[in-house]
Structure 1
Amino acid sequence: MTEALLQIKGLRKAFGALVATDDVSLTLRRGEIHALIGPNGAGKSTLIKQIAGGLKPDAGEIWWGGQEITALSTVARARAGLGRTFQISALAMDYTVLQNAVLGALGRQGGVWRFFAPVMKDPDLLEAAMAALNRVGLADQAHRRTAELSHGQRRLLEVAVALTLAPRAFLMDEPMAGLGASGSKRLTGFLDDLRHEAPILLVEHDMDAVFALADRISVLVYGKIIATGTAEEIKAHPEVREAYLGEEVPG
């Protein structure tokens, strides 16, 4: 069995009486895409925030490359190689596409702040930023203000910013949102290749993309994982079909 780079053990997070993640355990193996699916409000984004370090779990452990990182900050996890794209855009809208990508590349150098004008003349940062933009098809938009991009283009820019960090694994929260059919198809192909560079924990509502991409799928319902398996196993799982895929299972 392929080695697990990321291990989640018994993670729990409650907000008052609402239990958002309830004893969640899962792994992300090298070279795979592990999709996390579930209805709205199932706790998917809350789980991703805990893995990324933005939200402290009430119980459980997070292990990364054989080391426990449960108490590490978001920045420390990013520096350790855990890359993230967000469900809600975290881009600097008044900056250009290239400026956003350069800031990501700067973070790879340790996040030491430098005056912005010199940063934009740094050949190494510019090269890393443009390479990432080229990979997602945004090189021709480099000097455009980010606020002028379509929603789908902003999603691609978020992926490019994550790429500049050269992460060892990706956490992706609904990267297909707003892309449309052609954009989703293109990003699906890109992620299919990207898994060989770094594994991906993928939260996604586009089930065509999930079933096309995922080596394994975990289904989260009311904070609990009710099933983990291949696409075919998940499609055939009675509890999943009833709770999430919206199908009535014959008695």
Structure 2
Amino acid sequence: MSDTVLSTHGLRKSFGALKATDDVSIDLRAGEIHAIIGPNGAGKSTLIKQICGSLKPDAGSVSLLGHDVSDLGTSARARAGLGRTFQISELAMEDSVLENTVLGAIGADAGPWKFWKSALKTRELTERADAALARVGLLNERDMTVANLSHGQRRQLEVAISLTLSPKAFIMDEPMAGLGAEGSKTLTGFLDGLRTEAPILLVEHDMDAVFALADRISVLVYGKVIATGSADEIRTSPDVRSAYLGESA
């Protein structure tokens, strides 16, 4: 489709006899949130690693804006427009919110920075970082140490760092993990508006958030996509109920 931003084509990855991804072909379209759900061990993390470039597939390819990025590493894919947040935070906890965000801006430039803290004196980089922090509502916390942020604020900071890369697509791995009901509600509202900036491929176990946000949902079971459709289609699918959601859906 002409509005496809990100797509995978026949991704396969095996670890011995285990097929972690089995001929996975999905796409992410402009302006949408496409959720990937499935039980633990379904292959979701393996799929995300292949899309982002930290794990080489045995077969298949990944395209971003119509260009094959399969041979690019994680940093090159990020500079090409792939923004990622992680299931487990990888922030520099001892540094400030601004310092963490400037690191993202440096990555966007791919410049030869030998002493990155000197970049804090570079107006262009700090302005880009401040703009991203304002976008996620953390500008007032720019000088705080990351360790002093709430869990939800750290999730927002990860998004801000991705925003410094001017992403064409977001890959979000369980952003609701560890959040309470109020935190999940706040982040759900934020992500709902973020899709206008760039579409989101969302891996998430919080089904309330998934059904509230997703335009389309793909269900991964034992490495294979067993269904793709709207929230209503997935909620009422007998195959999905049997494999993952259960009758409570």
Which residue pairs with 1:53 in the alignment?
Answer: 53
- Whether 1:195 and 2:208 are equivalent positions in the alignment is no
Question: 1:248 and 1:191 mapped to 2: Cα distance?
Answer: 26
Task: Show CA shifts across 1:13-50 (max 9, x none).
Answer: 11112111111110111111100011111111110010
Which residue pairs with 1:41 in the alignment?
Answer: 41
Is the partner of 1:87 in helix, strand or coil?
Answer: coil
Matched residue type, 1:58: D
- Whether 1:207 and 2:207 are equivalent positions in the alignment is yes
Which residue pairs with 1:151 in the alignment?
Answer: 151
Matched residue type, 2:138: L
Which residue pairs with 1:62 in the alignment?
Answer: 62
Task: Show CA shifts across 1:120-146 (max 9, x none).
Answer: 111121111122122222222221211
Question: 2:111 and 2:75 mapped to 1: Cα distance?
Answer: 9
Matched residue type, 2:136: V
Matched residue type, 1:106: I
Q: How far apart are 1:148 and its partner, in Å?
A: 2.5
TM-align CA RMSD: 1.6
Matched residue type, 2:80: A
Q: Which runs of 5+ in 1 are unaligned?
A: none
The total of aligned residue pairs comes to 249
What are the within-5 Å matches in structure 2 for residues 231-250 of structure 1?
A: 231-247=231-247
TM-score w.r.t. length of structure 2: 0.95
Report which stretch shifted further, 31-40 or 135-144.
135-144
Is the partner of 1:20 in helix, strand or coil?
Answer: strand
Q: Which runs of 5+ in 2 are unaligned?
A: none
Matched residue type, 1:5: V
Matched residue type, 2:247: E
Which residue pairs with 1:185 in the alignment?
Answer: 185
Question: 1:108 and 1:61 mapped to 2: Cα distance?
Answer: 24
Report which stretch shifted further, 231-240 or 138-147.
138-147
Q: How far apart are 1:156 and its partner, in Å?
A: 1.5
Which residue pairs with 1:140 in the alignment?
Answer: 140
What are the within-5 Å matches in structure 2 for residues 96-107 of structure 1?
A: 96-107=96-107
Question: 1:31 and 1:105 mapped to 2: Cα distance?
Answer: 24
User: Share of identical aligned residues, percent?
Assistant: 68
Matched residue type, 1:119: A
Matched residue type, 2:16: G
TM-score w.r.t. length of structure 1: 0.94
- Whether 1:170 and 2:174 are equivalent positions in the alignment is no
Question: 2:43 and 2:187 mapped to 1: Cα distance?
Answer: 25
- Ranges of 4+ aligned residues in structure 1 off by more than 3 Å: none
